[in-house]
Structure 1
């Protein structure tokens, strides 16, 4: 008699398992990602070749279901994060993705700026408007503008910075109407909105978070194919790869060099998240050297965490503390060629 019920019970259990895999918990799971060679994705026009490789390192991040949450709970180098630790309050999935891609665009911008400055090559800037990062609920822009929209005219006026944009809009009164000319998915349209006082600032506006949308113009030209990689943590390694293609001397010295860190317009290397998972990824990819943000010797720096992780997984990688882009260049120039 028991055999009669085995098949139906198995089917029911399979359906429950399958259904529960699509039920997401209010957490994100992070795990080791990849270490990706940069030369194939960064191209400086007529740039120099290299014998070794610079590699960016990534963390895989995704929404947690009951299975991925449980696995991460018992895995040393996977971690669960509450949604509020990853996304801003009231931030939608679309706004989060747009913000991550913008952070990547910013990291590319600063990487190019840092590398060309170091190489002594002139830089120009092309301001294209403001870029919408998020839209505040119950404000005039709610339902009219979306994360990712580019606003390049206001009342037929063009501006040279987001500061000028904000100054123009906030000089008006509550209830005044403004007309935005926007670009969304390569289509141009006009959006007219009434201004309202923004509770957080006390100034009138339409209720959007924004940043400058500007392009850096350099010669020789450079392109970075980052595709769907988001976040700012590749900026430092981008800058090294770009600079290495600009100069004749090969900074890699024939080594496999991984690393991570943000970069700013002054060449400062900043802290990132997930350093432990990035060490695991770099080690699996065969990196020999890992450049880690040192945060000017802070006791809880990325460098300290990277050292501990490398020791724990018995990695043979040399972990190098880096505060600035110049620190990295100095270290690499002193390396014995392989």
Structure 2
């Protein structure tokens, strides 16, 4: 018997009708499962979710208040009279992101809410899993906490130092550098901030030896570390490279954070929050608690914005949702990164909320002080 291979095969009479009947008959089943919220038909590989995400109003937290009985921003190591009593609100804001939606769920968010429907890759980049994005957001949140402390201490004129937060398993520094070590010098040159250390290491190559001056348990010691090759998964992201004790090819393998050098300790106690956009409000809370007066003026102030160690405030995503969430929570003033002003004013809000334009921590403090004094402060217009 001979067989003939062809690129296409003519249908057997009646087969096209049967195929159409099967497909049409399956549609009500697919729709039924989608309407019930199921994301996959049981016993099959049929995925009912759509490649879109919905962004909307998320929760807002007063950085001067408490969560579960613990201060959101907790400052220790200061005399009682040095820690200022605060009132009012300095609220950080968030965006709620919904993924793994069926088509009816996505259409419901689009038609019956103020959510913004965006392509899924704007939330979870291609070739990244939701878990990877969550880890990246957690790292960005930790970085924003460190930057918030550094910016606040610089604003207040307080000294800083760099402490080892973590040592990666199997990294060049593993077994030599320890968690809670304070790094005071690199090859004899004094260092203060994590960027000083990453810059010093960035001038070296794998295989070079570096001498670290360290203060450990109250004693000054020196440790020699032979630098390794920057892992491929860390290459290309300057922030990650710097936070890992490297800047380019050379790699130390530690996570470093700046902390006050005068015994003050600042901890941030929000959990399950990701991303860098809380930086400005965290920094303002630290400044408010360590300086006389009340930045809020007793009002409900909210805001958002990334913050660099030098106090620069950067734009964020979802600004209109954050403003709406803050207004619904009772805010009358919202601090908007200047780069978000056009987007922030593209929408009208339910009440009368003042949008102050800021581009630095110093500028945010000045804007709030001016408002408290009854003076004009720059607004988004």
The answer to whether TM tops 0.5 is: yes
When the two chains are superposed, the root-mean-square deviation of aligned CA atoms in Å is: 3.1
Larger radius of gyration: 2
| Cα distance, 1:290 vs structure 2 | 0.4
Which structure exhibits the higher relative contact order, with contacts defined as CA atoms closer than 8 Å and separated by 6 or more residues? Answer: 1
Alignment check: 8 A CA contact 2:39 2:100 kept: no
Displacement of 1:265 in angstroms is 1.2
- Tell me how far 1:93 sits from its aligned partner: 2.1
Deviations 1:96-131 (A, max 9, x none): 11100000001111110011111111111113566x
Whole-angstrom CA distance in 1 between matches of 2:272 and 2:118: 21
Q: Aligned residues, how many?
A: 273
Q: Does 1:44 align with 2:86?
A: no
Q: CA 1:167–1:25 in structure 2 vs 1: closer, same or farther (change >3 Å)?
A: farther
Q: What are structure 1's unaligned runs of at least 5 residues?
A: 1-10, 131-148, 173-194, 196-203, 296-301
Equivalence for 1:73: 110
Structure 1 residue matching 2:335: 3-state secondary structure = strand
Distance 2:169 2:54 in 1: 31
2:111 paired with 1:111: no
CA deviation string 1:175-221 (max 9, x = no partner)? xxxxxxxxxxxxxxxxxxxx9xxxxxxxx764222442112222321
Q: Normalising by structure 2, what TM-score? A: 0.64
Q: Tell me whether 1:208 sits opposite 2:245 in the alignment.
A: no
| Alignment partners' CA distance in 2, 1:150 and 1:252 | 44
- Whether contact under 8 Å (1:29, 1:64) holds in the other structure is no
Change (3 A) 1:75 1:251: same
SS of alignment partner, residue 282 of structure 1: helix
SS at structure 1 position matched to 2:345: helix
Distance (Å, rounded) in 1 between the aligned partners of 2:176 and 2:203? 12
Larger % of strand: which?
Answer: 1
Measured in 2, the distance between the counterparts of 1:16 and 1:303 equals 39
CA positional deviation for 1:273 = 0.2
Q: Distance in 2 between matches of 1:38 and 1:155?
A: 36
The answer as to whether partners of 2:149 and 2:259 remain within 8 angstroms in 1 is no
Q: 1:77–1:276: 8 Å Cα contact kept in structure 2?
A: no
Alpha-carbon distance in 1 for matches of 2:139, 2:350:
36
Measured in 2, the distance between the counterparts of 1:215 and 1:335 equals: 34
Change (3 A) 1:287 1:163: same
For 2:346, what is the secondary structure of its paired residue? helix
Answer whether contact 1:232 1:262 (CA < 8 A) is retained.
Answer: yes
Matched, 1:221 2:265: yes
Match of 1:35 among 33, 55, 60: 60
User: Residues 75 and 292 (structure 1 numbering): CA distance in 2 closer, same or farther, change over 3 Å?
Assistant: farther
Q: CA deviation at 1:251?
A: 1.2
Stretch moving more, 250-259 or 38-47: 38-47
Alpha carbons of 1:42 and 1:284: their partners in 2 closer, same or farther (altered >3 Å)?
same
Once residues 120 and 141 of structure 2 are traced to their aligned partners in structure 1, the CA distance between those partners, rounded to angstroms, is 21
